[in-house]
């Protein structure tokens, strides 16, 4: 065989090996994310985020037909991100449904309170009726006094019994009303805490209870990449956070900025401090007490995920607001 023939055969063999490796790589990634997508759909309600679901379907179909290695790598990243977006959208929709249910329960509680008021009015009416009855019986006893001392004595004993029973009913009613007021107050506090947590999550804030205290996490979506300033529109989303801060009047507030490991340590430290300061100033502009707020930047020193993936780095780019005990 000639040198040219050997060269042609070598090139064909190299192309077949490259295609085989590429197909295997694409099939493994595609199979993994297709299986992940199937599990995601089986564990959620697709109708809660139909647009995000269609985007994932379209990207998977595009991946199946693509033979470009670079494009397949980009599609793998995009499918991973879109599945995360779908999950976030379905969770948000579920939280909105829960919020609607809580509002319905609040309305039902209001109706029950109205019923309790009516019941109290009925009891007062019954009390008045018993009092009138006692007065009428007292009058009858006075009229019967002329007839016989025995009848008068019996009437007086009946009056005492009625008075004692009336006092017992009054005590029971007072105890019942006090218990109802206590239960209503406890229920209102519980519902208020649930609604506050839902409002935080609907605004993109992530509350969590720890041994140190409650922490609310502002994800990287609140800032443009590499920027420290909050937009005016995004700053308004901090109103639920301000509500929680004002309710926790005894808590010490610490605002802590964090970055991923990309870039220099000095630049990351500066950016994390500026972002923490930006959140502090936004809360002050909304009406927070500046004397209660401290801000600090940690740079990349306190990661919550690995910095070797885009997803992990996105988790590390955050600002944490701590309500310390």
Q: Could you tell me if 277 and 209 lie in one domain?
A: yes
Overall average pLDDT of the 76-94 stretch: 94
Of 38, 60, 94, at which residue does a domain stop?
94
| pLDDT tens profile 19-53 | 444 444 446 899 999 999 999 999 999 999 999 99
Structural domain includes residue 3: no
Q: How many CA atoms lie within 13 A of 179 on its CB side?
A: 6
What are 216's strand-pairing partners? 207, 321
Structural domain includes residue 193: yes
Of 94, 124, 159, at which residue does a domain stop?
94
- The residue ranking higher by pLDDT, 241 or 16, is 241
Got the DSSP string for 264-322?
-HHHHHHHHHHHHHHHHHHHHHHT--GGGEEEEE-TTSS-SS-TTSHHHHHHHSEEEEE
Q: Could you tell me if 301 and 216 lie in one domain?
A: yes
Q: Could you tell me if 238 and 304 lie in one domain?
A: yes
Structural domain includes residue 170: yes
Q: What is the pLDDT of residue 174?
A: 80
Q: Could you tell me if 174 and 281 lie in one domain?
A: no
Q: Residue 254: how many CB atoms within 10 A of its CB?
A: 19
Q: Could you tell me if 134 and 179 lie in one domain?
A: yes
**CA atoms 130, 131, 132, 137: torsion sign:** positive
pTM, two decimals, is 0.42
Q: Could you tell me if 225 and 289 lie in one domain?
A: yes
Got the DSSP string for 127-162?
HHHHHHHHHHHHHHHHHHTTT-HHHHHHHHHHHHHH
Structural domain includes residue 268: yes
Percent of the chain with pLDDT over 70: 81
Q: Cβ neighbours of residue 127 under 8 Å, at least 6 residues apart?
A: 166, 169, 170, 173
- The residue ranking higher by pLDDT, 169 or 310, is 310
Structural domain includes residue 5: no
Helix residue ranges, H only, 66-148: 69-144
Does residue 317 surpass a pLDDT of 60? yes
Number of domains in the chain: 3
Q: Could you tell me if 218 and 153 lie in one domain?
A: no
Does residue 13 surpass a pLDDT of 60? no
Q: Could you tell me if 37 and 144 lie in one domain?
A: no
Buried b (16+ CB within 10 A) or exposed e, 273-301: bbbbbbbbbbbeeeebeeebbebebbbbe
Overall average pLDDT of the 15-19 stretch: 37
Q: Could you tell me if 228 and 161 lie in one domain?
A: no
What are 252's strand-pairing partners? 324
| pLDDT tens profile 98-153 | 999 989 998 998 999 888 888 888 888 888 898 888 788 887 886 858 686 775 88
Residue 128 sits in which domain range? 114-198
| CATH number, domain with residue 243 | 3.30.1330.60
Structural domain includes residue 108: no
Q: What is the pLDDT of residue 116?
A: 87
Q: What is the pLDDT of residue 200?
A: 65
Q: What is the pLDDT of residue 23?
A: 45
Q: What is the pLDDT of residue 5?
A: 40
Q: Could you tell me if 255 and 223 lie in one domain?
A: yes
Structural domain includes residue 64: yes
| pLDDT tens profile 198-247 | 556 555 678 888 888 899 999 878 888 788 888 777 778 899 999 999 99
Of 198, 218, 253, at which residue does a domain stop?
198
Q: What is the pLDDT of residue 302?
A: 93
Overall average pLDDT of the 176-185 stretch: 63
Tokens standing for residue 87: 């999950």
Q: What is the pLDDT of residue 189?
A: 46
Structural domain includes residue 191: yes
Rounded-to-integer distance, Cα 155 and Cα 107, Å = 50
Rounded-to-integer distance, Cα 176 and Cα 180, Å = 6
Rounded-to-integer distance, Cα 230 and Cα 280, Å = 11
Q: Could you tell me if 233 and 177 lie in one domain?
A: no
Q: Could you tell me if 183 and 207 lie in one domain?
A: no
Q: Residue 240: how many CB atoms within 10 A of its CB?
A: 21
| pLDDT tens profile 258-267 | 999 998 999 9
- What average pLDDT does the chain have? 82
């Amino acid at each position: 065989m000639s040198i040219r023939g050997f060269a042609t055969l070598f090139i064909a063999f190299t192309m077949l090996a490259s295609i085989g490796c590429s197909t295997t790589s694409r099939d493994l990634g595609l199979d993994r994310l297709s299986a992940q997508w199937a599990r995601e759909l089986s564990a959620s309600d697709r109708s809660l985020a139909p647009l995000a679901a269609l985007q994932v379907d379209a990207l998977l179909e595009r991946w199946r037909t693509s033979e470009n290695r670079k494009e397949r790598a980009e599609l793998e990243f995009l499918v991973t991100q879109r599945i995360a977006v779908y999950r976030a959208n379905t969770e948000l929709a579920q939280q909105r449904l829960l919020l609607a249910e809580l509002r319905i329960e609040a309305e039902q509680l209001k109706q029950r309170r109205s019923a309790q008021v009516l019941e109290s009015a009925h009891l007062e009416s019954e009390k008045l009726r018993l009092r009138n009855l006692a007065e009428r019986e007292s009058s009858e006893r006075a009229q019967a006094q002329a007839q016989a001392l025995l009848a008068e004595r019996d009437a007086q004993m009946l009056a005492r019994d009625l008075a004692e029973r009336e006092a017992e009913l009054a005590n029971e009613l007072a105890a019942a009303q006090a218990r109802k007021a206590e239960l209503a107050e406890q229920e209102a506090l519980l519902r208020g805490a649930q609604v506050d947590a839902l409002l935080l999550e609907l605004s993109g804030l992530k509350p969590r209870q720890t041994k140190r205290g409650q922490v609310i996490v502002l994800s990287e979506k609140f800032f443009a990449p590499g920027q420290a300033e909050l937009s005016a529109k995004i700053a308004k989303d901090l109103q639920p956070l301000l509500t929680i801060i004002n309710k926790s009047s005894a808590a010490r507030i610490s605002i802590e900025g964090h970055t991923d490991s990309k870039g220099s340590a000095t630049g990351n430290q500066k950016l994390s401090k500026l972002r923490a300061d930006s959140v502090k100033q936004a809360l002050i502009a909304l009406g927070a007490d500046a004397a209660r707020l401290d801000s600090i930047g940690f740079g990349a020193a306190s990661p919550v995920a690995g910095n070797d993936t885009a997803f992990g780095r996105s988790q590390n780019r955050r600002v944490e607001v701590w309500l310390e005990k």
